């Protein structure tokens, strides 16, 4: 009995006959991965959108949270650095396009240059994201969590500010009350409740400091739907609300954050962290492909298809960030 072997026009054996959709097996598998990963990110962003609109009245304002810029400590630059990060990542996608085009033309030196620029752009983005995480975790002003779980921030009247108020850090008004505080840990017998590092100030120091500074007011996490600003309480209301103070919050973690809704920090760490992992993985893959280009691996194969495949992944990562940037930071 005769055996028939189907061979494609380029001489490579393909058990299924013609190449499906006119592309190679490797590129098709990359597209399968991209589609499945896109569904994963879609689920994350959908969950974020649902949670945000469910707690829309207490959701933090992004342009009040991401106000830092390197080497400009104390200067409010809302969203500037995030916008710069986005530009760098998109520019790295442009250099990747140029690398793929140079590969089609079998121009090794140009592929090397554009791949190198793509790697540099990816490294800058990952480093910037790490820097952003550091500032987000550390915080800047601090806040109070009430017994009901609400977040209270502090402001004072500032006519030079467009909103009429300026944020006040806890260190600017907290009283100095000598006291000995014990951290709840297993070693102290509180095995069922472990604390992180103790906050810089105690609740009592914040309460007494607020009483001693009549110009300081409490700002709630609730957003006024008309003014699009967080509600600032009167002096009497501020003092009354501080009676419910329960915990001093500095920065952000998975349990609580000084910016507002607890879910905000959870989604921030998870979504941006998951995307950052993709970018970091892409950088490592790009470095591997870069060295293969230098060694002439693809020149000998007569095809730079591997550059094109990793380029598809890189474009996908950039596109996902555009959606993350839009829905998480802008909307």
pLDDT tens for 140-183 read 899 999 998 999 999 998 877 777 888 999 999 999 887 666 65
Domain boundary among 249, 276, 310: 249
In a domain, residue 258? The reply is: no
311 Rama sector, left if φ>0, alpha if ψ -120 to 50, beta otherwise: alpha
CATH of the domain at 109: 1.20.120.80
Domain count, the chain: 2
pTM of the model: 0.85
Has residue 44 got a pLDDT over 80? yes
In a domain, residue 9? The reply is: no
In a domain, residue 8? The reply is: no
Pair (149, 179) in one structural domain: yes
Has residue 7 got a pLDDT over 50? no
Pair (273, 294) in one structural domain: yes
Pair (71, 171) in one structural domain: no
In a domain, residue 2? The reply is: no
Domain of residue 162, residue span: 143-249
- pLDDT tens sequence across 272-311: 999 999 999 999 999 999 999 999 999 999 999 999 999 9
**Which of 39-48, 181-190, 312-321 bottoms out in mean pLDDT, i.e. has the lowest?**
181-190
CA-based nearest residue to 52, from 67, 62, 38: 62
Q: Which tokens hold the place of 225?
A: 């739907």
């Amino acid at each position: 009995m005769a055996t028939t072997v189907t061979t494609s026009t380029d001489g490579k054996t393909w058990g299924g006959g013609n190449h499906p959709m006119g592309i190679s097996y490797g590129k098709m598998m990359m597209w399968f991965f991209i589609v499945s990963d896109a569904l994963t990110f879609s689920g994350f962003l959908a969950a974020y959108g649902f949670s945000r609109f469910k707690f829309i009245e207490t959701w933090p304002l992004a342009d009040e949270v991401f106000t830092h810029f390197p080497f400009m400590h104390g200067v409010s630059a809302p969203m500037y650095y995030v916008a710069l990060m986005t530009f760098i990542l998109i520019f790295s996608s442009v250099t990747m396009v140029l690398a793929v085009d140079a590969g089609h033309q079998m121009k090794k030196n140009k592929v090397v240059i554009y791949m190198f620029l793509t790697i540099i752009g990816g490294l800058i983005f990952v480093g910037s994201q790490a820097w952003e995480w550091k500032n987000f975790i550390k915080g800047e002003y601090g806040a109070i969590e009430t017994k009901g779980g609400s977040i209270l921030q502090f402001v004072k009247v500032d006519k030079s500010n467009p909103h009429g108020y300026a944020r006040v850090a806890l260190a600017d008004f907290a009283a100095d009350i000598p006291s000995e505080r014990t951290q709840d840990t297993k070693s102290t017998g509180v095995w069922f409740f472990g604390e992180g590092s103790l906050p810089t100030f105690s609740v009592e120091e914040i309460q007494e400091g607020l009483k001693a500074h009549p110009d300081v007011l409490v700002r709630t996490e609730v957003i006024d739907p008309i003014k699009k600003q967080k509600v600032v309480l009167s002096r009497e209301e501020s003092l009354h609300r501080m009676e419910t103070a329960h915990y001093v919050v500095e920065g952000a973690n998975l349990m609580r954050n000084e910016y507002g809704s607890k879910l905000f920090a959870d989604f921030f760490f998870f979504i941006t962290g998951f995307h950052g992992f993709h970018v970091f993985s892409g950088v490592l893959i790009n470095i591997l492909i870069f060295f293969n280009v230098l060694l002439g691996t693809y020149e000998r194969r007569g095809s730079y298809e591997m550059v094109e495949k990793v380029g598809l992944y890189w474009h996908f990562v950039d596109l996902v960030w555009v959606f993350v940037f839009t829905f998480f930071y802008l909307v």
